[in-house]
Amino acid sequence: QKEVEQDPGPLSVPEGAIVSLNCTYSNSAFQYFMWYRQYSRKGPELLMYTYSSGNKEDGRFTAQVDKSSKYISLFIRDSQPSDSATYLCAMSASTGKLIFGQGTTLQVKP
């Protein structure tokens, strides 16, 4: 079993929809939870990070961490075609080593 599990999708939604992306994990030592966006043939781009449990909002993006369930989510409101990309969750204990999920491919149709 992988330390971080993420449904690869693909996920297809109409423009303007609310998107929910999720990851589960098994290592209770993880304290930092990140979401990266990766466009085709580009490097991953850090969207948001959260320390420990709770919510964090940045514009149309909201990250949620539930450590009791070992479950994290990224919500995208009013999704746009430019949001079409692969979304990677990543987690870290205090060591700085990131463990990535497989990535979920999202397509937002105009």
Q: Which residues bind other proteins (CB under 8 A)?
A: 4, 6, 8, 32, 34, 36, 41-46, 49, 51, 88, 90, 92, 95-98, 100-103
Distance (Å, rounded) from C-alpha 21 to C-alpha 44? 16
- Measured from the CB atom, the residue of 17 and 24 that comes closer to other proteins is 24
Tell me the closest approach of the beta carbon of residue 2 to other proteins, in angstroms.
10
- Measured from the CB atom, the residue of 34 and 76 that comes closer to other proteins is 34
Per-residue DSSP letter, 83 = G
- Measured from the CB atom, the residue of 45 and 78 that comes closer to other proteins is 45
- Residue 82: what residue type? S
Tell me the closest approach of the beta carbon of residue 92 to other proteins, in angstroms.
5
Tell me the closest approach of the beta carbon of residue 90 to other proteins, in angstroms.
7
Alpha-carbon distance values, 42 to 13, 28, 37 (Å): 22, 31, 10
Distance (Å, rounded) from C-alpha 85 to C-alpha 31? 26
**Cβ neighbour number for residue 65 with a 10 Å cutoff:** 23
Tell me the closest approach of the beta carbon of residue 18 to other proteins, in angstroms.
24
